[in-house]
Structure 1
Amino acid sequence: MAYSTQADLVERYGAQLLVDLTDRGEIASGAIDGGVVDRAIAEADALIDGYCAGRYVLPFASVPVQIGPISRQIAIYTLHIYTPDEKIEADYKAAIRQLEQIASGTLRLNAEGVATTTTGAGGVRVNDRARPMTEQTLKGWI
């Protein structure tokens, strides 16, 4: 399940920016290349899944509200072949910080299937070797 769509990117950033970023042919067609957009979204979603996999059961039953904007910010940054403008770069860095917070547990998603972080075993387990000096081996010395 994709966390964002081409329509989401058009709504947030405008069609002209997507045309500028995706129309990479020798002869400009003046249209958005859906394949390029889909690859950028897939890369963004894979990155998000990588951060969330340690804490949540994937795929999400329903996409948490925090994930959609993160996916859009990473996808639009990924579409830039050359240096993006400051706003897009700042949004990308903020999205990565949010993913790091999700991975560390500082930021919790409103999602089903939160994986448990503990095994349920309390305390310390110690395995010790057999004692070489027992009552039987010291018989006669005591």
Structure 2
Amino acid sequence: MAYASVEDFILRVGELQAIELTDREQPFTHTVNETVLNIALGDSSSQIDGYLAGRYQLPLDKVPLNLVRICCDLARFRLCSMSNVTITDEVRERYEEALKELALLAKGITALGIEQELENDPTGDMVVMFSNGNTRIFSRDHKNRERIA
């Protein structure tokens, strides 16, 4: 599942740029190639999941708007790098800001604002048990120490 749809992407970057980024047919069709765009959105969503997996139960029940924006920014950068569209300073800055925001989410410094955050130990794998059986293996008495050879 992608965090953003074709429609989300077009609303954010405009139809003209969406066409420029995805129309790879010869001769050009002058339409948005939804297959190409959906692959870029899927790849970007997978990248987002890599950041969120340690902190949130995936897939998310509801996609927060900031993830829609981040997904579109990542996909736009990805598509620019695979097309004749120049990566502008704005595209690069939005991409870098998206990565910074994902890093903050992964570290728990910022949150998505949803209630699906994982508990500290959702699987119980990190349970530590301590016990004191009061049975010493070694004595503190220097005279009664056995020598192990």
Q: Under a length normalisation based on structure 1, what TM-score does the superposition of the two structures give? A: 0.82
* Structure 1 unmatched runs, 5+: none
SS in 1 for 2:106: helix
Give the one of 87, 92, 99 matched to 1:89: 92
Render the CA deviation track for 1:45-64: whole Å, top value 9, x for unaligned.
00111100010000111112
Q: 1:10 and 2:1 equivalent? A: no
CA RMSD of aligned residues (A): 2.6
One-letter amino acid of the counterpart of residue 46, structure 2: A
Q: 1:6 to 1:104 in 2, by over 3 A?
A: same
Shift of 1:133: 4.5
Distance of 2:32 and 2:51 partners within structure 1: 29
Give the aligned partner of residue 43 of structure 1: 43
Give the aligned partner of residue 66 of structure 2: 66
User: Is the CA contact (8 Å cut-off) linking 1:61 and 1:112 kept in structure 2?
Assistant: no
Give the one of 112, 130, 137 matched to 1:131: 137
Q: 1:120 to 1:95 in 2, by over 3 A?
A: same
One-letter amino acid of the counterpart of residue 59, structure 1: P
Shift of 1:2: 2.0
Distance of 1:20 and 1:95 partners within structure 2: 22
Shift of 1:11: 1.1
SS in 2 for 1:66: helix
Q: Under a length normalisation based on structure 2, what TM-score does the superposition of the two structures give? A: 0.78
% identity of equivalent residues:
27
Distance of 1:25 and 1:116 partners within structure 2: 48
User: Is the CA contact (8 Å cut-off) linking 1:60 and 1:112 kept in structure 2?
Assistant: no
Q: Which consecutive aligned stretches of 4+ in structure 1 deviate over 3 angstroms post-superposition?
A: 118-122, 132-135
| Count of matched residue positions in the alignment of Structure 1 and Structure 2 | 133
Shift of 1:18: 1.1
User: Is the CA contact (8 Å cut-off) linking 1:2 and 1:41 kept in structure 2?
Assistant: yes
Distance of 1:121 and 1:60 partners within structure 2: 30
Q: 1:110 and 2:116 equivalent? A: no
Distance of 2:66 and 2:19 partners within structure 1: 26
